[in-house]
Amino acid sequence: MSITNRLTELGVILPDAPAPAANYVPFMQVGNIVYVSGQISNGPDGLITGKLGADMSVEEGAGAAKTCAISLLAQLKAACGGDIERLVRVVKLTGFVNSTQEFTDQPKVINGCSDFLVEALGDKGRHARSAVSAPSLPLGVAVEIEGIFEIA
């Protein structure tokens, strides 16, 4: 099944790739590798803000991470000239979780992104990963995730 068909089956329509908020590019291609800049948790109703361990549950954080996954795929689609089917595999994700010092479930939060990518992409979505805590993130968002992808 194509990536586009699978996303449609999951009820996901990739939005236009978000524009960068500062002096950087949203993605950089080097050979067949695409590096996608950090995508912040942003859903249909706007930014998803909060701090895990204070005012957000792990489940809410995982939902925020899923929105990052959708933005990562939107950026990748833009990097591929609109052809998401060029994706060979997700190589690596680095996830940042806005969390309290005591919070230790960062991997469970970033699972929201990882689980969605595997559900949407099958084996192409399996990847290496880091999940780390941050005392704050841009605009107060709950999650930011950057990705490395291989394309054809």
Domains identified in the chain and CATH numbers: 24-151 (3.30.1330.40)
pLDDT digits (tens, 9 = 90+) for 49-79: 999 999 999 999 999 999 999 999 999 999 9
Range 28-58 burial, b when 16+ CB lie within 10 A, else e? eeeeeebbbbbbbbbeeeebbbbbbbeebeb
Whether pTM > 0.95 for this model: the answer is: yes
DSSP conformation class of 49: B
Q: Which pLDDT band, with edges at 50, 70 and 90, does 18 fall under?
A: confident
Q: Which pLDDT band, with edges at 50, 70 and 90, does 111 fall under?
A: very high
